[in-house]
Structure 1
Amino acid sequence: MYSKIAFKNVKKSFKDYTIYFFTLMLAVCIFYTFNSIESQKVMSELTSSGESYVDILSKVISYVSVFIAFILGSLILYANNFLVKKRNKELGIYMTLGMSKNKISKILILETIIVGILSLISGLILGLIFSQGLSILVVKLFGLKMSTYSFVISGKAMIKTVLYFGIMFLLVMIFNSFVISKYKIIDLLTVGRKTEEVKFKSNIVYLISFVLCVISLGTAYKLVLEVGLLGIKDIKFITSILLGVLGTFLLFFSLSGFILYIVKKNKKIYFKGLNIFIVKQINSKVNTNFISMSVICLMLFMTIGMLSTGFSFKNAIESGLKDSTPYDASAYLYIDEGEKANDIQKSLEYIGVKFNKEDKVVYYDLYTDNKTISEVLNLNANMRSLMNYMKLSDYNKLRELDNQKALSLNKDEVLITSNYANTLEALQNYIKNNDSIKIENKSYKIKDKKVIEENLKTDFMKNNMITVIVNDDVCDNMALISSNVSVNFVGEGKEKREADFTNKIYSYKTTDTDYDKIGFVLGVSKAEVYESNKGITTIVLFIGIYIGIVFLISSMAVLALQQLSEASDSIDRYKSLKRLGASEKDINKTIFIQTLVYFSLPVILAFIHSVIGIKVANDFVSVYNKPDIMGSSLITAGIFMIVYIIYFYITYSGYKNIVKNKIHVK
């Protein structure tokens, strides 16, 4: 009996369940898709070339999935609460007919099970399709070649999805039973007659709040642009975050009164058509839900930021790999004044690094005159790194290692090398306006008036801030700052010797190491750089997409549910419009404008936040290489618009149907 009632209720209320069901289906789909990634065929291709990052990725996704489950669980409870409230009168009639609260709870539990099973099945089916598409996306993003394609079903991910969502539905059942136990018949039957009293404060309060909002957001943007992500521990960065959050809440708090005040001033707009009704409705919604709208705005900001910067971060690192790895391997030893260990050749011998006769090995040193880049070139005051100098003879050895011709310098000439994104542009501007630089109070001409863009060692990124190539005797009175080696392995077993090179450098660092004798040697190989890059970009990109999409869906779902809830609460207002002679077209127009404005307000502010956030993130990413945000922005915009349009359309249609059915518009 109860199962029949439950099935009939679900079937009868399918339109009410549309947003709920659609959100559940998408949530299950996304949860399964990302948790199944480790089982996909393409992940075995990722591990075939060397060290595996699949275990790290799967563990990170597992940890993130707990957080995602919490977000989705809260969303499901919120959506379920909306559905229960919408059926208050129906539940009151059940009680009036003599049905006990326990029996009503059973019906709701059965309805939850039915919807849960349907959403799980449809979501898993959709997830199976999307997970295969995710494999293809991985291939495209990381330039891999799949030897064969096979349709993969991850049993582990399926069990985890069913388990997590099973717990969520169990919590919904407990929640429903608790809510029903607190209900009284009179409250359920008269809920439709109760109208929410919207209290508007004086205009001066909203005006002050708006001014404070502008000051807070303006200060937040200024501070975060000043310090950037590199200053994440700086008090200015923390202050910018707090002011940004405060400004967001103040904006939505002040928006209702501020909009009403501005529109009222323009009588032509305010009294045109049903604009009075539309403005009052929007103000009422914003005034009631300004906290949730603020949270949604911040979530959308994080979504846009994570999706956009995730792709640009990957592109920036990958595009700079070739230029940052000119040799098979490099190692270096930083040297402070008075240190005994100052020769990397001896240090490598102590730790057991050996080269074959065929291997091409170049040892070279870097020097400094203890002046910063800013002091020598009069550049940005933030460029406090010491100027580096290299002997021409050492530089030509490196060029020979890279199969380039040797260069020569006159006694009064120097060469400028750099490829570090944050200093390269400033250097080029300096050379455009200056023919020379001063070294030890002597002027030297810059040969060819150009910057040679190159890394002088293999490393994880392009990090040659500036190295000046000088005649050998110029370095005689300078301090040795680092001892370096770069090598190209030749002949059979080069891959093994390359791996042994870095393994020896990593493994010698123990508690028994005599650092006074050996020094602190750092090194990396080209293969390691590429493999590490592949792992880092995989993790960053997938976690960013995973969290971003869940935040996007959750935000849109909450906006949709708030709108639909408001539709039920505002039926009397629409009945009044109908009695006053408003046509179906006019009423639908008011619904469309309200829904559009309500959906757009948090999106617009999130977009403004994102412009600043992406600028800051790209400044940080530019340490690796200048990012191209066009492609990632288009992808982000595409994902955003698809989800936005789907939820907007479902909400508008649902809102319209609720009003139409209640006021009998024909």
Structure 2
Amino acid sequence: MFKLTSKLALSNLIKNRSLYYPFALATCLSVAISYIFFSLTFNPHLSKMVGASAIYMVLSLGVFVVSITTTIIVFYANSFVMKNRSKELGLYGMLGLNKRHLFLMVIIELLIFAVVSTGIGVGIGLLFDQLIYAFLLKLMGLQVVLVSTFQPFVLILVVLLYVFVFFCMMISNGLHLRKFDALQMVKEKNSGEKKSRFLILQTLVGLASLIYGYYLALGVTNPMAAILIFFVAVLFVILGTYLLFNAGVTVFLQLLRKKKSYYYKPNNMISVSNLIFRMKKNAVGLATIAILSTMVLVTLSGGANIFAGGDYMQKAMFPHDISAQGKNINAEQIDQVMTEFAQEQQLPVTKKVVYEYYTMGINSRVENQLEINSREKKMMTPNTYILAVSEEAYKSMTGKSLHLEDGEVAVYRQGVKLDFGQDVQIAGQRLKVKEELKEDFIFGHLPDQMNMMIPEKIYMVMKNPSQFFTPLMEKYAVNVNYYGGMTFDIPQEKQADLKTVYQEKLSTFNTTLADDQAVYGSVTAYAKQEIKGMLGGMFFIGIFLSIVFMLGTVLIIYYKQISEGYEDRERFVILQKVGLDEKQVKQTIRKQILIVFFLPLICAFIHLIFAYHMLSLILSALGVLNTVLMLMVTLGVCAVFFISYIVVFMVTSRSYRKIISM
């Protein structure tokens, strides 16, 4: 019997190749992507480079997500193949094969398929591993070198992963055959999904869930809170999407059916009736396409924005070649440590600055009345913060003079509404607004990490800020800060080499200070390389996760089109027999495909529109501060995805029409 089942297994794989080709493609790509991720994560060459710790953390997260996602995709493809082979397996049962024989045949099929597809997948991974490694180095801004990336440990790890996946698949297929009934399995392919119940209730719950998810996405204002709320909002949106596809669309179509003036037209009647039937059968699949498409858009938009906004973020955080700041120190000490370092290393200094500035968080605001956080209260991340500098510092930054008097202030604001016709009150103290500044004068001159965490900011220029803020320090959480920066006329590569000696200099200098004092700083070239590595790694992860999600989307779409093509063919044959001409059949098919195919895409774009506000806040916390660039990159990603979706539509709809016209 083993010989017979082996021959049947091999014959079945060849005979059902139209079902197994997409399954094989998905499996091969999943294995290849898994191998590449594992290889990069454990690559010993990558661990020796600048920014290795950040990229290792990002890649490790990517391995986890990719492994789960690819497993789900492979399982979905297997379940679809088994469902569409139910009639065939049922016929085998009618011809005399029992459950044990069928299970043995299915196991042999899956073993042959697993060996071939996993082998091809590993081969693709080995073939492209070096190229992908070079691509990652390019994104990280490192020198591209082609070195051997093969690691036997990684190969064993990937093989074991997919041995486990296919073993679980065998168990799943065995459970499917356990309830074997030949007649029932013959009918299973055309049985579809069970008719939904409580359609109106599901629709109302779906709408409420979707609206609440959108409300959460639009209502958040704090970037740090947005990261946590994002996952909660995603859960509500996913629930709402599934319920509305499962019930809401059907309810809408039923309302159209009750509208006699619209429904009782040949094309509309056939389209609406078929769409109602399709939604009952394919709601989960279409909702999954919408969710996966949204994941592609959000993941790729986030990764692309992080990478594109990297230069802007680096300039905002590191405006000079080396920086020095401190705790309980003064401007003279900052200047001293930088000057000594430049002299000791004989560095050609082109610019040196030392700035005093004041920062504070605003816990409440009523029009122009600003209340500073109290020192007694526990500090929380405020929605608004103030950064104030002297007129002298402003002139050093911009080369412009403001000619301010005591009690006067020039203000630059972002995300804050102020009435400049009235005085600004800070902790009850009035300041007259002499001028509204249109330019962000802090950018490129002072490191502004708070910009990434707090959406509303007010930059002030005063004649003597210490005179105004010093009396407030005892009661309010007003911080005085000192920043020093230097630029040198030497290449970036040599500047990165200064990192170790500069940290040694700061450590030595700190030994001369009191116990409650300390100076800390960074070498920008080295810090930028670490950030570049992290951002490039995140973009890399975004690209590959998008590929995985897109793979799942295309696979589901293809299988849906093929299965529905065979099911619809019988119905259209009947319609032609009762008088529907070929032109009307084609128009009906085109209309039906367009609605079903593009409904998930429209849904995905709507999700992205509502998620954009929250996404922008999360990206700002990661350093993406250029809002115009962010919008342009996101629109570009949407355009690329739309074109890709159209290509998939053209390919799969051609298969659908070919089946219908057979």
Q: How many residues align?
A: 628
Q: Name the CA distance, whole Å, in 2 between partners of 1:383 and 1:219.
A: 25
In the TM superposition, what are the counterparts of 1:217-616 in structure 2 within 5 Å? 217-228=210-221, 230=223, 232=225, 240-241=233-234, 243-267=236-260, 269-333=262-326, 341=328, 343=330, 356=343, 363-367=354-358, 385=384, 387-392=386-391, 409=403, 411=405, 416=410, 423-424=413-414, 441=430, 443=432, 445-446=434-435, 452-458=441-447, 466-471=459-464, 474=467, 478=471, 479=473, 481-488=479-486, 498-502=499-503, 517-519=515-517, 523-568=521-566, 573-582=571-580, 587=585, 590-616=588-614
- Per-residue deviation at 1:609? 0.8
Q: Does structure 1 conserve the Cα–Cα contact (< 8 Å) formed by 2:304 and 2:542? A: no
Q: Which moved more, 1:452-461 or 1:9-18?
A: 452-461
Once residues 360 and 98 of structure 2 are traced to their aligned partners in structure 1, the CA distance between those partners, rounded to angstroms, is 88
Task: Report the Cα offset of residue 606 of structure 1.
Answer: 1.7
CA–CA distance in 2 between the matches of 1:300 and 1:4?
40
Paired with 2:371 and 2:231, the residues of 1 have a C-alpha distance of 25
Match of 1:632 in 2: 633
Residue from 5, 10, 28 that aligns with 1:7 = 10
Give the distance between the partners of 1:520 and 1:17, measured in 2 at CA.
Answer: 66
Name the stretch that deviates more: 438-447 or 313-322.
Answer: 438-447
Amino acid paired to 1:640:
F
| Change beyond 3 A, Cα 1:389–1:198 | closer
Separation of aligned partners in 1, 2:384 and 2:531: 26
Q: Does 1:183 align with 2:180?
A: yes
Are 2:160 and 1:163 aligned?
Answer: yes
Gap regions ≥5 residues in structure 2: 373-380
1:444 offset after TM fit, Å? Answer: 6.4
Q: Which AA in structure 2 matches 1:319?
A: Y
Instruction: Work out whether 1:88 is the aligned partner of 2:74.
Output: no
Structure-2 residue corresponding to 1:338: none
User: 2 CA distance for matches of 1:488 and 1:508?
Assistant: 17
In structure 1, stretches of 5+ residues that fail to align are 335-340
Deviations 1:53-79 (A, max 9, x none): 2x5534543454344333332332332
Partner of residue 169, structure 2 = 172
Residue 634 of structure 2 aligns with an amino acid whose one-letter code is S
Q: CA deviation at 1:311?
A: 0.9
Residue 533 of structure 1 deviates from its aligned partner by 1.5
- Check whether the contact 1:416–1:451 (CA below 8 A) recurs between aligned residues: no
Does the C-alpha gap of structure 1 residues 471 and 38 become closer, same or farther in structure 2, counting only changes over 3 Å? Answer: same
By how many angstroms is 1:282 displaced? 1.9
**Which stretch shifts more, 453-462 or 20-29?**
453-462
- Opposite residue 19 of structure 2, the aligned amino acid is D
Secondary structure of residue in 2 paired with 1:640: helix
CA contact 1:458–1:525 (8 Å) conserved in 2: no
| Paired residues of 2:409 and 2:432 also in contact (CA < 8 A) | no
CA deviation after TM superposition for structure 1 residue 611, in Å: 1.1
The one-letter code of the counterpart of 1:171 is C
Q: How many Å separate the matches in 2 of 1:160 and 1:322?
A: 41
Classify 1:636/1:476 alpha carbon distance in 2 versus 1 (closer, same or farther; 3 Å): closer
Cα deviation code 1:168-191 (max 9, x no counterpart): 223323333343343133434555
Query: Given that residues 333 and 344 in structure 1 are in contact (C-alpha distance below 8 angstroms), is that contact kept between their aligned partners in structure 2?
Result: no
Q: Deviations over 1:355-386 (max 9, x none)?
A: 74667765543347998896795699997656
Contact 2:407-2:431 within 8 A present in 1 as well:
no
Q: Match of 1:120, as an amino acid?
A: T
* Cα gap change, 1:610 to 1:495, in 2 (>3 Å): closer
Cα 1:380/1:224, change in 2 over 3 Å: farther
1:15 CA drift (Å): 1.5
CA displacement 1:259-288 (0-9 Å, x = unmatched): 323432554543333443332222223234
The separation in 2 between residues aligned to 1:417 and 1:529, in whole angstroms, is: 31
- The root-mean-square deviation of aligned C-alpha atoms, in Å, is 4.8
- 2:443 match: secondary structure: coil
Taking a change above 3 Å as real, the CA distance of residues 519 and 299 of structure 1, as seen in their structure-2 partners, is farther
The change in CA–CA distance for 1:619 and 1:265 in structure 2 (over 3 A counts) is same
- Are the counterparts in 2 of residues 304 and 610 from structure 1 also a CA contact under 8 Å? yes
| 1:608 Cα offset (Å) | 0.3
Q: Determine the C-alpha separation between the residues in 2 that align with 1:571 and 1:160.
A: 45
- Identity score, percent: 22
Q: Which segment drifts farther, 461-470 or 296-305?
A: 461-470
Say whether the 8 Å CA contact 1:256–1:282 is kept in structure 2. Answer: no
1:314–1:171 CA distance, 2 compared to 1 (3 A): same
Matching residue's letter, 1:80: N
Per-residue CA deviations over 1:11-54 (Å, capped at 9, x if unaligned) read 2211222332232233234333444446889x75x965xx332x
The residue number in structure 2 matching 1:106 is 104
Aligned 8 A contact 1:314 1:537 in 2:
yes
Matches within 5 A, 1:621-660: 621-622=619-620, 624=623, 625-627=625-627, 628-629=629-630, 632-633=633-634, 636-637=637-638, 640-641=641-642, 644-645=645-646, 647-649=648-650, 651-656=652-657
SS in 2 for 1:320: helix
Larger deviation, residues 360-369 vs 59-68: 360-369
User: How far, CA to CA, are the matches of 1:151 and 1:494 in structure 2?
Assistant: 30
Distance, in Å, in 1 between the alignment partners of 2:601 and 2:524 is 43
TM-score w.r.t. the length of structure 2 is 0.77
Mapped partners of 2:233, 2:370: distance in 1: 27
Counterpart-to-counterpart distance in 2, 1:456 and 1:185: 77
Question: Amino acid of the residue matched to residue 443 of structure 2?
Answer: E
CA deviations over 1:498-544 (Å, ceiling 9, x no partner): 444446779999xxx99993257654331343123213212322233
Deviation, 1:309, is 1.8
1:17 and 2:20 correspond: yes
Maintained 8 Å contact 2:193/2:280: no
Q: Aligned match of 2:55 in 35, 54, 57? A: 57
Q: 1:78 aligns with which of 76, 81, 86?
A: 76
Q: Which residue of 2 aligns with 1:337?
A: none
Report the CA distance shift for 1:280/1:200 in structure 2 as closer, same or farther (over 3 A). Answer: farther
| Alpha-carbon distance change, 590 to 161 in structure 1, aligned in 2, over 3 angstroms | farther
